[in-house]
Structure 1
Amino acid sequence: MARDCATVRGIDTMVCSGGVLHNRLLAARLTFYLADFTLLFAQQLPAGDGAIAYGQAVIAAARWQAQGIQP
């Protein structure tokens, strides 16, 4: 499905994320089946919920900073 949507829209790069990518076999198969695309995987943050928590903290800090609130 992702391949079809990307191809129709002329997209050649996909971001791959989610806890399922902790499974090396699934990540390897995804890389194989989507070899004609540039795939981006998490490098500095975990692929799962840890990155969601990090993103939530970044958004909260930005909102506090915009309002002049010190955390």
Structure 2
Amino acid sequence: MARDCATVRGIDTMVCSGGVLHNRLLAARLTFYLADFTLLFAQQLPAGDGAIAYGQAVIAAARGQAQGIQP
């Protein structure tokens, strides 16, 4: 589904995250299946919920700053 949506929209880069990426076999299969895309994987944070929570916090902070709210 992600492949089809990205192709239709002309997207060539995907961010891959989630605890399932701790499974090396699944990560390898995903990399093979999406070989024609640039794939971004977590490197400084865990691939699971910790990185997702961090990303949510970064987005919330950016939105707050855009509205003049200081953290």
Residues in 1 aligned to 2:9 and 2:67: alpha-carbon distance in whole angstroms: 39
Unpaired runs of 5+ residues, structure 1, are none
After TM superposition, give the deviation of residue 65 of structure 1 in Å.
9.8
TM-score between the two structures when normalised by the length of structure 1: 0.74
Question: What is the RMSD of the two structures over their aligned residues, measured on CA atoms?
Answer: 2.8
Identity %: 99
Please give the secondary structure, in 2, of the residue aligned with 1:47: coil
Q: Point out 4+ residue stretches in structure 1 off by more than 3 angstroms.
A: 52-71
Larger radius of gyration: 1
Query: Is the alpha carbon distance of 1:8 and 1:55 closer, same or farther for their aligned partners in structure 2, counting shifts above 3 Å?
Result: closer
Structure 1 residues 62 and 7: alpha-carbon distance in aligned structure 2, compared to 1, 3 A threshold: closer
Question: 1:43: Cα distance to partner?
Answer: 0.3
**Change in CA separation of 1:3 and 1:49 when aligned onto 2, cut-off 3 Å:** same
Q: For structure 2, which runs of at least 5 residues remain unmatched after alignment?
A: none
Secondary structure (helix, strand or coil) at the match of 2:47 reads: coil
Q: How many pairs align? A: 71
